Amino acid sequence: MSLAQDAINDLVVEGDLKLIQFTDSFGLEARSLRGTLRNAGTRAYGDVTLMGEGFDANNRAVAEVFGYLVDACGSALVDLALQPNESRPFALKVDQYAEGEPVRWELSLSGQAQDAALAPPPLPAGLRRFSPHEVVAVEWASDSASFLYGMGCSGDIFTAHEWANYDVQTGRTQALEAHPNAAQVTKAMIARAGITQITQTGGGENPQLLESSFLTMPSFSTRAIFQTDLHDLYTTERDGRFRRLVQTGLYQHSLQGFVWSSANNFVAIYFGGFGEDVRYFTASDQGGALSPHLLNNPPSRTIPGLTDDGRAVIIGGTLDEQTGYILRDFTRGRSTLLYRAYLPSNNYPAPQFRRVDDGVRLLYVIRPSSADGPTILECFTLGSSAPIALTELPFMSLREDERAWAWLSPNGAWLALGRSGAQGGGWLIDLAALGAHNTCPASDGG
């Protein structure tokens, strides 16, 4: 597929263009022209738009395209200024107005030149950035020496992400062709598990159900997790056998993903949009429910954290007229206020739980310090009276249309962070360097 380009010389289309066919929100077939735009100049460019025409093999114009720079989920970044040496994906809507398959594109680019942004301040001590791309998944190796990370759209299944391996000690990144378990997702596996079966009308197959299944097959587990067309949640072996129902009656709720514990238990997260209360339940990767049904758990204002045994969650809410983080114990059926705090919305990471031993349990929490304050990382010892602020995280201040995630290493020494949107990326925090590996540091009295 060839390309001709005019207009701004500084803005260069990199690599190959891809013509993608998909089903839009109205259930209609649509196509999008995808590619990557790089700023090869010395100034930034805002208000970037792309338009053009597509020509068939006989050099006849058969389609036109128009669009913008986008994030990993395809949402337009209309207020983004493309900085020098920066690359961003774009997505152009294809309007086919004549018969014939486009094989050549002529694109025209426009944008407003402006001064380049100042270099960001150096990261606080103990922090490093390991990826400039939107990191939405991390899977730690059992020895905490490395981790896999997935880049892309958080709503896509894991096989749609770009994956890489990061070595914590050397700081080296190795791009992977695919997730190690991607080859397990075969037609036979999908059929055995019943991922694409249509249950609402009593039979048949819909291959597009795979895209909305939230199919998850982490490298640290022997099981796969997915939802059906009725949003029933199941686990199976990686080959699709031994299907087990985890929870049903979820068709009115929107699955947003999973938060894992160090013991391969997970909390399934449900909400519709920014600012909505979060519904949830917990289970083991083997398929056994560890909490009551989603509707029987108190909702959370924040993404729930999870204890290692999966039998308690850390939620955000108000208890006895005090707002903060709450431990909800499913075994005892009771809630306990851990500490009062200004709570973020459902786009901030879940609290990370670490059991050092039977006597020491820690929480690592990322939240805005106040309505207009900086985002901070704090450490809290369960049973103590107050958390300890560890460091500011200026790159984790989120807009409503952005999300972030956190993943604690098995040995509790490292905390990986990822965020979506125009300022997306991946960061690593050395908790030992912050004095917060096996204990929260002492308060400085400030």
pLDDT digits (tens, 9 = 90+) for 34-59: 999 999 999 999 999 999 999 999 99
Strands (E), 24-103: 29-39, 44-55, 61-69, 87-96
SS (H, E, C) 97-162: CCCCCCCEEEEEEEEEEECCCCCCCCCCCCEEEEECCCEEEEEECCCCCEEEEEECCCCCCHHHCE
- pLDDT single digits (tens) 203-223: 788 888 999 999 999 999 999
Q: Does domain 127-430 have CATH number 3.30.70?
A: no
pLDDT digits (tens, 9 = 90+) for 19-34: 988 776 666 788 999 9
| Structure confidence at residue 6 as a pLDDT band (50, 70, 90) | low
Cα 101 vs. chain centroid, distance in angstroms?
35
Every domain of the chain with CATH number 2.130.10 lies at 127-430
What is the share, in percent, of the chain residues with pLDDT greater than 70?
96
Residue-wise pLDDT for 242-296, tens only, equals 999 999 999 999 999 999 999 999 999 999 999 999 999 999 998 789 999 999 9
Instruction: Please give the average per-residue pLDDT across 308-316, as a whole number.
Output: 96
pTM, two decimals, is: 0.92
Q: What are the phi and psi torsion angles at 249 (to 5°)?
A: 70, 35
Instruction: Report whether pLDDT(181) > 70.
Output: yes
Which CATH number fits the domain 2-114, given the four candidates 2.60.40, 1.10.3710, 1.20.1690, 3.40.50? 2.60.40
Residue-wise pLDDT for 133-154, tens only, equals 999 999 999 999 999 999 999 9
Note the pLDDT of residue 25: 65
CB-neighbour burial class of residue 243 (10 A; exposed 0-12, middle 13-18, buried 19+): middle
For residue 331, is pLDDT > 50?
yes
Give me the residue label for tokens 């700023």: 39
Which pLDDT value is given to residue 3? Answer: 56
Specify the residue for token string 């010892």. Answer: 381
Residue 329 pLDDT greater than 60, yes or no? yes
Query: What is the overall mean pLDDT for the chain?
Result: 93
pLDDT at 95 over 60: yes
pLDDT at residue 446, rounded to an integer? 42
Where in the chain are all domains bearing CATH 2.60.40?
2-114
